A and B are shown apart, each in its own frame.
Chain A
């Protein structure tokens, strides 16, 4: 027996390691929504280094922008001042609209909807693989963040909390292939499931007789218990209606710009 084991020790080792790895994976698959001790430890240990690297790149980028591109600074300054004036005017308009909206909401007793408190967090690291879409934010369980909490920016839905460590969390973006959320077309309330496809989204299980046009806004439906209803998800960019079948295929471009994620809001479960 010992001779046999010695002779085939590499084969036995390979089989044992592969079976153990498969069991390890399937065990964690069952508890995929929980953050393991190993993940927490790695996140905690590497977070200071990641923050340091982030600081270094930001500083280097600022230095580059400040000193090496002075040639176009005057023109940029003029354009920015112009834009600033335009935005200030727009902001005043929006303040008026917001006040009017607030009064109307009070009148219509809609105050109970969308009353989740929000926590602002900063994105400091991105996914290190090409196949999955996640980012790391600087708020964790110590700040009240929990797995499954929705994350968004002013433009729309970003994703949901996937893993939580005491001072940082990993966010699964809606563009990740394993991400799915209930959504509806804002104008006619046609329902569907939004799935991530890497750089864009698709809306599935939308009945083919529903009138969906390019440019329509897609919002969260509130089903599934993760995202509150009415949050913007994206705009329709392509609608395909095959000659047969129950559903139409809808391609959606997210409203949030995932290439420029800096600050995000984590929506907490408690009321404001």
Chain B
């Protein structure tokens, strides 16, 4: 219960940062996608059922804050959760390298899924390909930086704050990249 509460607070903080801080810190074009990093985090460290539902809910929130058709990101994040869950199931998640790898891979998959859904379901969504083509590398870079900062912050929090020790995450002995 305590772990679930901590996880909820952790995700809510990420939502606040993504929706209120990032739009003011970064120009209108590129900003880190903490929601995606959270999806990867949930796929790594949350339970299967809670994680999947949380990812769907995160996606729906993203749709509201992004002005998209409700359900677009819900579907994308739920699908990403399952794909990443399958990919990480046979590997050791105590180290941080697979996490960064999955953030980069998740960015690519997210873009492909969004572009596919927007183009396939919306007759006017063709322009999204231009953003996807030019935006993949800067977005992946920003997401990796966000994931690095988030994991470092998480590890420091777990090490120094007794109340955060139950937060799931990679091994505290891990030094990072």
| Chain A residues within CB distance 8 Å of chain B | 10, 13-14, 17-18, 21-22, 24-29, 32, 36, 38-39, 42-43, 46, 49-50, 53-54, 57, 125-134, 162-163, 170, 172, 176-180, 195-199, 202, 258-259
Contact = CB atoms under 8 A, between A and B. Distances in A.
Contact of B31 (A14, A49, A130, A162): A130
Given A38-B70, A39-B64, A178-B125, A198 B31 contact: no
Contact of B20 (A50, A177, A259): A50
A225 B115 CA distance: 28
A21 B67 contact: no
Contact of B127 (A29, A163, A178): A178
A34 B78 CA distance: 24
Interface residues of B, number: 54
Interface in B107-155: 111, 114, 117-118, 121-122, 124-128, 130-132, 134-135, 139
Interface in B69-85: 69-72, 74-75, 78-79, 82
Interface in B19-36: 19-24, 27-31, 33
10 contacts: A21-B74, A39-B64, A54-B24, A131-B66, A131-B128, A132-B68, A134-B67, A177-B130, A178-B125, A198-B131
Contacts of B29: 130, 198-199
Nearest to A195: B127
B70 A21 contact: no
Nearest to A25: B71
Nearest to B17: A128
Contact of B66 (A14, A26, A29, A128): A128
B131 A131 contact: yes
A28 B128 CA distance: 19
Given A14-B52, A39-B64, A162-B67, A177 B125 contact: yes
B40 interface: no
Given A24-B70, A38-B64, 7 more contacts: A24-B71, A50-B20, A131-B132, A132-B68, A195-B127, A198-B130, A258-B28
A126 B28 contact: yes
A22 B20 CA distance: 28
Contact of B67 (A25, A53, A163): A163
Contacts of B139: 130
Given A21-B56, A50-B20, A128-B18, A13 B74 contact: no
A197 B127 contact: yes
Nearest to B59: A21
A128 to B, nearest CB: 4
Name the residue among A26, A46, A131 with the largest chain B CB count within 10 angstroms.
A131
Query: Which 4 interchain pairs have the tightest Cβ spacing?
Result: A177-B127, A25-B71, A134-B67, A21-B75
A129 B127 CA distance: 16
Nearest to A54: B24
A179 B68 CA distance: 12
B60 interface: yes
B33 A129 contact: yes
B131 to A, nearest CB: 5
A177 B71 contact: no
A180 B28 contact: no
Contact of B19 (A27, A46, A179, A258): A46
Nearest to A133: B28
Contacts of A197: 127, 130-131
A163 B79 CA distance: 26
